[in-house]
Homo-oligomer: A and B are copies of this chain.
């Protein structure tokens, strides 16, 4: 039976129900992560470079990826401090990808997180270079700042993040995305784009948190399935929001997909069916958490619901 829009809105409230206060949790986590990011990338010479890096890195995103990383680490019983460098690295990579994707030669976006995009403020050259610096620093920061975790596990985190970011991950997704503009593509290509451009880094966030926390292989694979599902759902919902929300609500240009004639889930499946797909993905994700302690799993359950039912 198809979920209606009002079903959807009603369920959206459910992630804040019960004893776990998701809103407060996300506020606290964002504070923790923002402080760590601010310290990890302090203002230095060359001024413009660091200003540009900090402009985008500290622009007040929702910090979903760091939150997932920290929550996965805690689910396993790991120390949140040990996962903080990896959590920050996820946000550095995410920020880099936004800066580069927004460039005139790519998506050509002027507006991001409610502010002018990096290259509109600092110029294309500095935007490319600050993206490069953030990308580099993500790996260096994990290697340098992760404490209380074996060097073998830290290397594994670096491998996981590398695969998620490069030519097998989000860069590959962005390339296929660019090449699919103004073309009719099928669900397989659309899924490839979403799995690589978005899901890969959400997956790495969860899996790296679990690795830092000391998870065994079976647990890592369960959490990989969880994160791949929410990753795909994240992008399906992004497609939905692009056609249902305003630029003001999104903090970035709305109806952008339509404007550039991009293939999206709503375009291929319609809005209601797309919502069903997102819901099913989220439900399957949450099922992966069944065997875990309910209290410890609460943040990942809530994060999955948030991703499925968010309004921006």
Contact = CB atoms under 8 A, between A and B. Distances in A.
Interface stretch (A139-147, A225-233, A276-284): A139-147
Nearest to A166: B136
State the copy count for this chain: 2
Interface in A92-144: 96, 100, 103, 105-106, 123-126, 128-133, 135-137, 139-141, 143-144
A46 interface: yes
Contact of A125 (B96, B105, B132, B165): B105
B166 A132 contact: yes
Given A129-B175, A171-B49, A176-B46, A165 B136 contact: yes
17 contacts: A48-B175, A96-B132, A100-B132, A105-B124, A106-B125, A129-B174, A130-B171, A133-B166, A136-B165, A136-B166, A136-B167, A137-B162, A140-B159, A140-B161, A140-B166, A143-B158, A155-B155
Interface of A: 41, 44-46, 48-50, 53, 96, 100, 103, 105-106, 123-126, 128-133, 135-137, 139-141, 143-144, 150-152, 154-156, 158-159, 161-163, 165-168, 171-172, 174-176, 178-179
B136 A171 contact: yes
A137 B155 contact: no
A68 to B, nearest CB: 20
Nearest to A174: B129
A249 to B, nearest CB: 28
A137 B48 contact: no
Contact of A139 (B132, B158, B175): B158
Contact of A129 (B126, B162, B171): B171
Nearest to A119: B105
Contacts of A130: 167, 171
A254 B307 CA distance: 53
Contacts of A131: 132
Contacts of A176: 46
Contacts of A46: 172, 175-176, 179
Nearest to A161: B140
Given A123-B105, A155-B143, A128 B128 contact: yes
B128 A167 contact: no
A179 B51 CA distance: 14
A49 B176 CA distance: 9
